[in-house]
Structure 1
Amino acid sequence: MSSVNEQDRPADLSPAQRNEAWERLSTEEFDLVVIGGGVVGVGTALDAATRGLRVALVEARDIASGTSSRSSKMFHGGLRYLEQLEFGLVREALRERELSLRLLAPHLVRPLPFLFPLTKRVWERPYIAAGLFLYDQMGGAKSVPGQKHVSRRKALRIAPSLKPDALVGGIRYHDTVVDDARHSLTLARTAAQYGAVIRTSTQAVGFDKTGGRITGVHLRDSETGATTTVRAQCVVNAAGVWTDEVQQLSGERGAFTVRASKGVHIVVPRDRIVSEVAIILRTPSSVLFVIPWETHWIIGTTDTDWNLDLAHPAATRADIDYILERVNAELVTELTHDDIEGVYAGLRPLLAGEDESTSALSREHAVATVAPGLISIAGGKYTTYRVMGADAVDAAAEFIPDRIGDSVTERVPLLGADGYFALINQCDHLGEQYGLHPYRVRRLLNRYGSLLDEVLSPAAADPSLLQPLEAAPQYLRAEVAYAARREGALHLDDVMARRTRISIEYSHRGADCAREAAELMAPILGWSAEKTDWEVENYQARVRAEIESQRQPDDEAADALRVAAPEARREILEPLPPAEPTGR
């Protein structure tokens, strides 16, 4: 197994630093321990670390392995929430969008033009225009152009795939897109750079209490089954859809509960839809986004209640048929199941309300003290992760004896952001330097920013790293090696589904390049030949289970097939049955 060398730094989630993190969790006391490696958890860890707190974050599986890798890939203000009169949420989200676009993560959050097709004459244009005007005035048109009205003919020129009778005109506006998993990972690495201890495959299985106060967290290594206890002044439960399960471990009744809403997306090749812009389509119950994703389109989403396995939500044939039916109602050339190269399902953690319709549950976030020394935070939007993290640390301050300063994360660029704009202007020169096409360099800069040289420098000793994966040529072999060496990837699934997006961008879902990727990871992670074979077989079994589950008619049948696939993290424990809450 590789060791820390002179090039390693705190932000590098290397195998050796993983071992060091376990030792630190076992021996040190922290001001704050965060449970959950989604965007809210890593955002909280970054906020705490940049305030000078001693902070650790533990995640049972992988960074962004839940909701934060399965979104609509939009870092947006939430235009549709204006119609629900959630003005505060929209204003807050737009401010966060602007911060990330200009300062915090310009290499990861990028502008995206949208077309809003108008379908009703007379009243709809002024109605939608008023909403978009408000959106722009709240901050939606600072770094991107404001709305622009187009005629039906112009709309069809910029989006020729729309049926001529599907619209009477349109409005063009801008929002932003993000690779959610890579963004969350970059947040985690930035938190580590500022001193946070980040450890994945580390499951919270219980709490230590002293005099009724939470003073520590019992941990179990999801890879080996080893256990330890980390001591903490305060614990933040940022477990997303697992919020209630973590609260149950404390034996306390939470101040709120979380319901899971399943959102399904399909991924089709770029040539199946001809359009210069993303498209937003209104449906009877919600909206449908058609979003350009490099060589693909992402289309979604659904919004249905989910009460089954939280780790591996399954898309059904009915979910996919629903999306196809809705989008085909607007397209000249209909999409079919054969056009679909990827499908993914994610769970939104919604604060439970009285309305049974999940689309009516709150997208606002909530922070509450569950017990002395234990804070829970849930709800919200991906875009507002930074505000949520700051609120969680503010709430934790009550249990931390040292004085805590104000949040500074609005002025802390994420790893890779510094120098990004200058490097984009140097794509041709960088391409000559590394022997890569400028298009490839630009794509790498939009994934790694100014960390580009870290990704590519090992190719000086091994030029084969500059070659693309044979069955996934959008990605270089160097990216797989970098994921294992510096980005904390422990399994093939981590690379295929989150460090890259091969699992949704290729019809083979990564099965055809699993062997090549595993052999790149093996020497870095110290895998034996038997372990390498197991990783390949395990990942291919996951792919088969997902594809078969997506042919099932309902959630129960799809879930049964998906959960039958083997877990990459063999020592992870299933959630305990609900405990009888005490107190409150």
Structure 2
Amino acid sequence: MENLRNYHKRKFDVIVIGGGITGAGIALDAVTRGFKTALFEMQDFAAGTSSRSTKLVHGGLRYLKQFEVKMVSEVGKERAIVYKNGPHVTTPEWMMLPIYKKGTFGKFSTSLGLYIYDYLASVQKKERRRMLTKEKTLSIEPLLKNDNLLGSGYYVEYRTDDARLTIEVLKAAAKHGAFLSNYTKVTELIYEGNKVMGVKVKDQLKGTTYEYLAKHVVNASGPWVDDVRVLDSNNRSKSLLLTKGVHIVIDRKRFPLNNAIYFDTHDKRMIFAIPRDNKTYVGTTDTFYDDGKENPRIIDDDINYLLIAINEMFPSVLLQRKDIESSWSGLRPLIQEEGKAPSQISRKDEIWESSSGLISIAGGKLTGYRKMAEQIVDRIIRKEKVTNACMTRNTPISGGDLEGDFTQFISKNKLKARRYGFSLEEGERLARLYGSNVNTIFQLTDLYKKDHKNFNIPFDLFIQVLYSIKYEMAVKPSDIFVRRLGTLYFNIEKCRKYHHAIAEVMGYYLGWTEYDKERYVNESENLILDVSF
């Protein structure tokens, strides 16, 4: 990577280790407060937990059960900020909480809990909770189990594409001057005396190593936080406990869910069933995990658990393993609490600082990424004895700086897209995916329209591949169909059909050898097999 060579031994104010949503948020906060900032990610950006969540920017309703009032209040308010700054990657979604005799929630406790939730999270009036009768509940979602149903609570959560949220935050950081590098693994910490003053990194694609110096090094590597802390010469005061969450995807023709549902399981946990485009996805499990972190294994117990839960709550669908189209699993880096079951462990974030000055952060929720970043950079601000205020509360992420409301923006740009050769449907999808960056998509069509005839790939996908290469640092086909477009999980047939064609386009514009192309095609095929059923 040319940029890695250019920045070799350059001194930054802040180096962030980890390119998930937490690291991305820290990079954006730091650079907008005037710090020279660099971020290194050993895989692709968002390749860990930040592309493997339940894909909700939610307010943490279930934490009321654990009396974590402060967390509910904070993440609920942060949810509104995430939506304001990135309306193209967050979508309000009405969520139904069905109430059953002898269930986790009764009518009164649900009504009171949702009222408190609305209050703590400062929910706007049009999105405040409603209490529905049994009849109204079944009219909205007839697939629900009828026996012992009393009614439901109805409230708003926010659906997101977690990987795209991360990518857009990173692009905003880059726009403000941050240096970002994926496939760059921190292999060693550099010391001046007993203080951490930089990192040694290895380019995972080319094998070369580089050094970068910094006043402050932040370890935001999610499930790998302890791995980075092992590089530090200081003893670890606390450690992480990893839990695994599995999700499965079913075609909506087979599981025709009308409405997002948050429901009880047989073991008194709660999981989500969420319609998304032409699919319904369900999750998540919550089990301790201590195996390989890059690609957490899904076992039969995970699948059976979710199928039992679905068939108990939606008895008419009678889902079987063969109905599952794809799946994903992710790891939660939680702060260890002895004697607690996985679902009982707090999702709060925590910050450690070793005597060497290495700052580490773990825990927390996707929804609270901005606030977590603010806390980290506030700590650096105090060390530097400056007063640079946090800017991110009112800083749009990349694609989020829209003129007018989002509905007007979509209407305008799907019509505009027709002038560039896209259908109305394609134009709307592109505008929703890229927000204000859709104008760059349109510019690429003018520049590369003639090139399209050289490739056996739909025009809209061709342009998206180019955009991913030029503006989102995608270097492999898997970067594109997993984390730039999300098709691996929600349109796996499209991945099977076009991953060779994507490799052809990438190989042409990135100058791949035939060996490179074959290697990346094989990697894509193995990835498709891994998530398929």
Which TM class, normalised by the smaller chain length?
A: over 0.9
Structure 1 window deviating more from structure 2 (382-391 vs 280-289): it is 280-289
> Residues 19 and 432 of structure 1: is their aligned pair in 2 closer, same or farther, counting only changes over 3 Å?
same
Counterpart-to-counterpart distance in 2, 1:298 and 1:465:
37
Equivalent pair of 1:111/1:144 in contact (CA under 8 Å): no
1 CA distance for matches of 2:238 and 2:255? 43
Q: Which residue of 2 aligns with 1:157?
A: 139
Q: Indicate if the aligned counterparts of 2:74 and 2:121 stay in contact, CA closer than 8 A.
A: no
Which residue in 1 is equivalent to 2:489? 504
Task: Choose which of 184, 206, 211 in structure 2 pairs with 1:229.
Answer: 211
1:442 aligns with 2:428: yes
CA distance in 2, matches of 1:91, 1:328: 34
Aligned partner of 2:272 among 272, 277, 289: 289
1:114: which partner in 2?
Answer: 95
Alignment-derived partner of residue 518 in structure 1: 503
SS in 2 for 1:184: helix
CA gap of 1:299–1:464, structure 2 versus 1, over 3 A, is farther
Structure 1 residue 537 corresponds to structure 2 residue 519: no
State the AA in 2 paired with 1:485: K
Tell me by how many angstroms 1:274 deviates: 3.2
Provide closer, same or farther for how the CA distance between residues 143 and 514 of structure 1 changes in structure 2, counting only shifts above 3 A.
farther
Secondary structure of 1:539's partner?
helix
Structure 1 letter corresponding to 2:338:
E
Aligned position for 1:63? 45
1:271 paired with 2:288, answer no
**Mapping for residues 487-498 of structure 1, pairs under 5 Å:** 487-498=472-483
Cα offset, 1:100, TM superposition: 1.8
- The equivalences for 1:140-151 within 5 A come to 141-142=123-124, 144-151=126-133
Distance in 2 (CA, whole Å) between partners of 1:40 and 1:201 is: 17
**Which residues of 2 match residues 85-484 of structure 1 at below 5 A?**
85-101=67-83, 103-120=84-101, 124-139=106-121, 141-142=123-124, 144-165=126-147, 167-283=149-265, 284-331=267-314, 332-400=316-384, 403-419=386-402, 421=406, 422-463=408-449, 476-484=461-469
> Alpha carbon RMSD of aligned pairs, Å?
2.2
Distance 2:239 2:34 in 1: 31
**One-letter code aligned to 1:455:** I
**Structure 2 CA distance, aligned partners of 1:522 and 1:121?**
59
Q: How does 1:27-46 map to 2 (within 5 A)?
A: 27-46=9-28
Looking at structure 1, the residues matched to 338 and 494 of structure 2 have their Cα atoms a distance apart, in angstroms, of 39
Q: Which residue of 1 aligns with 2:6?
A: 23
- Post-superposition offset of 1:238: 0.3
Identity, % of aligned positions = 32
- 1-side partners of 2:227 and 2:192: how far apart? 21
**CA displacement at 1:466 relative to structure 2:** 8.5
Q: Which amino acid aligns with 1:494?
A: D
The SS at the match of 2:329 is strand
List gaps (5 residues or longer) in structure 2.
none
Structure 1 contact 340–507 (Cα < 8 Å) conserved: no
CA distance in 2, matches of 1:76, 1:161: 24
Decide which moves more: 535-544 or 120-129: 120-129
Gaps of 5+ in 1: 1-17, 551-584
| Amino acid paired to 1:352 | Q
3-state SS of 1:512 partner: helix
Checking the alignment, whether the CA contact within 8 Å between 1:74 and 1:178 is kept in structure 2 is yes
Provide the secondary structure at the position in 2 that maps to 1:168: strand
Q: Check the 8 A contact 1:166/1:330 in 2, yes or no.
A: no
Distance in 2 (CA, whole Å) between partners of 1:231 and 1:166 is: 63
The question of whether the paired residues in 1 share the 8 Å contact of 2:201 and 2:210 is answered with: yes
Q: Which residue of 2 aligns with 1:581?
A: none
Against the structure 1 CA distance between its residues 428 and 244, is the aligned structure 2 distance closer, same or farther, given a 3 Å change threshold? closer
- Alpha-carbon distance, 1:470 to partner: 8.0
What amino acid is the match of 1:322? Y
Residues 375 and 396 of structure 1 are in contact (CA less than 8 Å); yes or no, is this contact kept in structure 2?
no
Pick closer, same or farther for the CA change 1:436–1:145 going to 2, 3 Å: same
**How far has the Cα of 1:250 moved from its partner?**
0.9
C-alpha spacing 1:532/1:266, structure 2 compared with 1 (3 Å) = same
Aligned ranges 1:542-581 → 2 under 5 Å: 542-547=527-532
Structure 1 position 535, deviation (Å): 1.0
- Partner residue in 1 for 2:470: 485
- Kindly provide the CA deviation profile for residues 229-263 of structure 1, in whole angstroms up to 9, marking residues without a partner as x: 11110100001110111000012123321111000
User: Could you say if the C-alpha distance between residues 297 and 40 of structure 1 is closer, same or farther in structure 2, counting changes exceeding 3 Å?
Assistant: same
Q: 1:542 to 1:333 in 2, by over 3 A?
A: closer
Q: 2:420, 2:446 within 8 Å by CA — same for their partners in 1?
A: no
Which deviates more, 430-439 or 223-232?
A: 430-439
Task: Name the aligned partner's letter for residue 476 of structure 1.
Answer: L
Equivalent residue of 1:76, what SS? coil
**In 2 relative to 1, CA 104–224 (structure 1 residues): closer, same or farther, beyond 3 Å?**
same
Conservation of the 8 A alpha-carbon contact between 1:464 and 1:477: no
Q: How many residues align?
A: 526
